[in-house]
Structure 1
Amino acid sequence: MIYKDLLPMNMDGNAPTKEFLRRVADVCIEYVQHTFDRNSKILDFHQPEQLKDVLDLEIPHKPLNLDQLLVDCKDALKYQVKTGHPRFMNQLSCGLEVVSLAGEWLTAAANTNMFTYEIAPVFILMENVTMAHMRKIIGYKYGDSILAPGGSISNLYAALAARHKMFPQYKERGLFALPGELCLFTSMHSHYSMKGAAAAMGLGTNNCIEVPVDARGRMIPAELDRLIQESKAKGKVPFFVCATAGTTVFGAFDPLNEVADICQKHKLWFHVDAAWGGGVLLSKNLRHKMAGVERSDSVTWNPHKLMGVLLQCSTIHFKEDGLLISCNQMCADYLFQQDKPYDVNYDTGDKVIQCGRHNDIFKLWLLWRSKGDEGFEKHMDYLWEMTEYLVQKLKSQSDKFEMVLEEPECTNVSFWYIPHRLRTMKQGPERHKLLGEVQPLLKGRMMTAGTLMIGYQPEDEYPNFFRNIISSQAVNKDDIDFMIEELDRLGYDL
């Protein structure tokens, strides 16, 4: 059989269509089962040229049969990294929530666009209700929200809205509406998307001013105040401050109340990038880490990170309603007619710069329905419990591991593995240099073995170190014990 035997090419193709989709589903289900099998590898690593030899990736001139397509599906998953594996701790988005997966499957089957209520009525209402619930958790009484394609674009939306709020004529007049060079402020450890936003908005990366951080990676409020005053003295026009709630590497939470005070003092937009750390708002035990978030003007929050929703699922929330539509509306009447037979305020396409939007709400809504607020609170508390267990295990084997930060604020745990030859070497710059050289070598062995995946990077004066992420509910104490033993097995003789 080929594609012509399936719906819609063959209107009598119900049976072959059902059989083909069932077999594809079987391939996916088998993959999910292997994902949670701790005896299976996370990946079967091949170098790019090797993988091109193993896989048939060419686009054919004539149609292939459906059996070959099923083989292609199996091969794609065979060589794919199992990001839901309990021992995959490489990214901020780890794990595989089965209910969210079910939501993604239904989303693909519906295959609709989220720009009007006309074609996505159920999903638009789901987004409306879920975003309102998230704003209530943040502490906004009213406001507006949208799902965006990633945290970087969410941060860009915040900066665009801030500029529009301060200079509403910019939309029509562009640079001529500005009294001088605009500049924004973010911490040295913030996500690079703020620098990207400055570039995309025409401010220039030099006008994304990085604020120094303390020893734990948190923005220093006094330095923010100083830099704002310095920028004003140079004739620049500060308009936006981004505080980070959960930095990418250290997981640091900037002091939001103190930053809010400074923004209030200078009349600047206060944005919180909680793409990573936003999930703490769901736990009474952890919410204090984001004290002051309710004073912000906007918040980025990615449910595809700590909350475990499948990629991608990023939200941006505004305290003031109407800004999104005012900032981005282009009034394309061939899409967003105002005389439709329903309340057109439910249409979202004119709120965003991208027009069409993927349906990212259903997998979030369905997962939240399955857990409830109570289940997500337990989810967050469990991630912190596993993180604390890892920290204590690392500290108990200080001959083999050295912590970068003694007490991490989020589930990022940063450390160096110490191979046998360096365990008796005195502390100092040379030892740190050698440790920085060891970590990438150990990562290479890790990927070849396929049993474990942890990311590494340098930061400030620190040479390469591992940053272990726990954002999957599948991780348990046995996995953490295995990780520590496996690092020593793979790296002992480096």
Structure 2
Amino acid sequence: MFTYEISPVFILMEEVVLRKMHSIIGWPEEDGDGIFCPGNNTMSNLYSVLLARFHLFPAVKTHGMSVIPRLALFTSEHSHYSIKKSAAVLGIGSENVIVIRRDERGKMISSELNSSIVAGLVPFYVSATAGTTVCGTFDPLNEIVDICEHHGLWIQNDAQWAALLLRTNQEVIHYHNRLQRAMCCSQGLLQECNQLCAEYLFQPDKHYDVSYDTGDKRIQCGRHIDVFKLAFEAQINHCLENAEYLYYKLKRTDFKLVFKGKVNKVNFFCCVFSNPATQREDVDFLIDEIACLACEL
């Protein structure tokens, strides 16, 4: 997927799905922009930090880190590790990621975030999470957005898990922030931040609207058809049904649920359903096998 003339069908599929997601969230069509990223959170979060830095300090694209101040970004203890990785890759430095404490349920403590934004390093970015990797917790997004608006910071919402629910229309996120999992938003910013206008590939005199040549919005240019990852509504729903089945099965057994007590005080199993071939009998076998093995210890 370099240009429209190479892969017109796939690019149009991506455009249609992005516009649909924008409409579900409630953005006017002219206010949204986006791309689909490969892999899990890592590339999406990398794009997010890259865009935030470019938005505030566009000279960094051509002149490098020497022309901007020493930056700081903020995230919670339970955020995805790729926030620190992004800071390292982009030359900001992993030690300049300020980790905010979370409460007993795993949510970022918003008052701790507010008190951490002090003079010294230049704050520019906060990563909130809608569905943390281990506990599936939602940070207090509205409170975090208010803090970011007060301090003039870029707010991103790492919504890998929440976006799945958004895709299946079981939950719609109406926070006034940026949905992050599949989309990096802000009209035109992706293009300005990443384009280098390679003339052998992105010629401006083509016989169609060259805004469909979306390859220059991206770091990697050529890419796989990532839009297909959001085309599996039935499979996603099946995984959610398995998770619900596991939850109620555990409640009827001697297993203890983490959030019935204090979080992370004991070692625990984190079960993630991602294989749509998994059936309820597989869940039954998993629980019975763990119990059987435990009795032998």
Q: Assess same fold via TM > 0.5.
A: yes
What letter is aligned with 2:260? E
Match of 2:268 among 458, 465, 476: 465
Say if 1:257 and 1:291, in contact at 8 Å, map to a contact too: no
What letter is aligned with 1:336? F
Instruction: Please name the residue that 1:404 is paired with.
Output: 258
Match of 1:390 among 235, 243, 246: 246
Say if 1:182 and 1:203, in contact at 8 Å, map to a contact too: yes
Instruction: Please name the residue that 1:328 is paired with.
Output: 194
What letter is aligned with 1:354? Q
Match of 1:249 among 130, 134, 139: 134
Alignment of 1:300-449 (within 5 A): 300-301=180-181, 315-318=182-185, 320-362=186-228, 364-365=230-231, 367=232, 380=237, 383-398=239-254, 401-406=255-260
* C-alpha distance in structure 1 between counterparts of 2:227 and 2:258, whole Å: 37
Pair 1:205 & 2:90 matched: no
1:14-51, CA deviations, whole angstroms, 9 ceiling, x for partnerless residues? xxxxxxxxxxxxxxxxxxxxxxxxxxxxxxxxxxxxxx
User: What is the deviation of 1:226?
Assistant: 0.9
Instruction: Please name the residue that 1:275 is paired with.
Output: 160
Higher strand share: 1
Match of 1:133 among 20, 29, 32: 20
Instruction: Please name the residue that 1:490 is paired with.
Output: 293
Match of 1:480 among 275, 283, 295: 283
1:334-364, CA deviations, whole angstroms, 9 ceiling, x for partnerless residues? 1111111111110012111112111222464
Structure 2 gaps, min length 5:
none
What letter is aligned with 1:393? K
**TM-score scaled by length of structure 2:** 0.90
Match of 1:260 among 141, 145, 149: 145
Name the SS for the 2:83 alignment partner.
Answer: helix
Say if 2:47 and 2:184, in contact at 8 Å, map to a contact too: no
Name the SS for the 1:265 alignment partner.
Answer: helix
In the superposition, relative to structure 1, how do residues 201 and 363 fare at CA in structure 2: closer, same or farther (>3 Å)?
closer
Number of matched residues?
294
Pair 1:299 & 2:179 matched: yes
User: What is the deviation of 1:461?
Assistant: 5.0
Say if 1:137 and 1:282, in contact at 8 Å, map to a contact too: no
User: What is the deviation of 1:317?
Assistant: 3.1
1:95-143, CA deviations, whole angstroms, 9 ceiling, x for partnerless residues? xxxxxxxxxxxxxxxxxxx111121111111111111112222332231
* C-alpha distance in structure 1 between counterparts of 2:167 and 2:207, whole Å: 38
In the superposition, relative to structure 1, how do residues 358 and 387 fare at CA in structure 2: closer, same or farther (>3 Å)?
closer
Name the SS for the 2:48 alignment partner.
Answer: helix
User: What is the deviation of 1:149?
Assistant: 1.8
Instruction: Please name the residue that 2:5 is paired with.
Output: 118
Identity among equivalent pairs (%):
49
In the superposition, relative to structure 1, how do residues 131 and 356 fare at CA in structure 2: closer, same or farther (>3 Å)?
same
* C-alpha distance in structure 2 between counterparts of 1:121 and 1:383, whole Å: 32
User: What is the deviation of 1:146?
Assistant: 0.8
* C-alpha distance in structure 1 between counterparts of 2:47 and 2:218, whole Å: 8
What letter is aligned with 1:488? A
Structure 1 gaps, min length 5:
1-113, 302-314, 408-459
User: What is the deviation of 1:464?
Assistant: 3.4
User: RMSD of the TM alignment (CA)?
Assistant: 2.4
In the superposition, relative to structure 1, how do residues 238 and 278 fare at CA in structure 2: closer, same or farther (>3 Å)?
same
User: What is the deviation of 1:237?
Assistant: 0.8
Pair 1:164 & 2:54 matched: yes
Name the SS for the 2:179 alignment partner.
Answer: strand
Alignment of 1:214-233 (within 5 A): 214-228=103-117, 230=118, 233=119
* C-alpha distance in structure 2 between counterparts of 1:352 and 1:225, whole Å: 33
* C-alpha distance in structure 1 between counterparts of 2:273 and 2:224, whole Å: 27
* C-alpha distance in structure 1 between counterparts of 2:61 and 2:74, whole Å: 22
Alignment of 1:102-113 (within 5 A): none
**TM-score scaled by length of structure 1:** 0.56
What letter is aligned with 1:300? Q
Alignment of 1:73-92 (within 5 A): none
* C-alpha distance in structure 1 between counterparts of 2:6 and 2:174, whole Å: 39
1:216-268, CA deviations, whole angstroms, 9 ceiling, x for partnerless residues? 1111111111111x3xx2x2111111101111111111111111111111111
Say if 2:167 and 2:230, in contact at 8 Å, map to a contact too: no
* C-alpha distance in structure 1 between counterparts of 2:224 and 2:241, whole Å: 34
